[in-house]
């Protein structure tokens, strides 16, 4: 299902930003794409996600939607995702997932 932003929203939104060098951008994008295709999108409560790369290839923004906050947290605690996050961390300077509530759409 494509990502749709509605207000009010019944889903939880997680926006994660990743900082990397242009030299590791494609490797990180490949790792994130594979994680979504093989694992994350199959987890309970997953709704949708999108990956965005800036022109300089120094940042990736990830937008994901989940039925409940607990669904996202449970996915993060799985052994497979913990291992994937270690690999992801090795490809970037920093990454930070933050959960948001939709405050409005225009």
Q: What is the pLDDT of residues 53-106, one digit of tens each?
A: 999 999 999 999 999 999 999 999 999 999 999 999 999 999 999 999 999 999
Of 19, 77, 103, the residue nearest 53 (C-alpha): 19
Question: CA 60 to CA 57: how far, in whole Å?
Answer: 8
Lowest mean pLDDT among 4-13, 38-47, 48-57, 60-69: 4-13
78: helix, strand or coil: coil
Of 3, 2, 60, 49, the residue nearest 26 (C-alpha): 60
- Which numeric CATH code is attached to 12-100? 3.30.70.100
State the pLDDT confidence band at 23, using cuts at 50, 70 and 90.
Answer: very high
Given a cut of 70, whether residue 1 has pLDDT beyond it is no
Which strand (E) or helix (H) includes residue 27? helix 22-38
HSE-CB of 31 using CA atoms within 13 angstroms:
18
């Amino acid at each position: 299902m494509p990502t749709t932003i509605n207000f009010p929203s019944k889903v939880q939104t997680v926006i994660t930003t990743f900082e990397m060098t242009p030299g590791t951008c494609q490797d990180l994008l490949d790792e994130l794409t594979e994680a979504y295709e093989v694992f994350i999108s199959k987890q309970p409560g997953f709704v949708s996600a999108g990956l965005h790369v800036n022109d300089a290839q120094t940042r990736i923004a990830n937008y994901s939607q989940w039925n409940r906050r607990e669904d996202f947290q449970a996915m993060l605690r799985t052994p497979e995702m913990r291992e994937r996050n270690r690999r992801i961390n090795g490809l970037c300077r920093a990454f930070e997932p933050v959960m948001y509530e939709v405050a409005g759409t225009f």
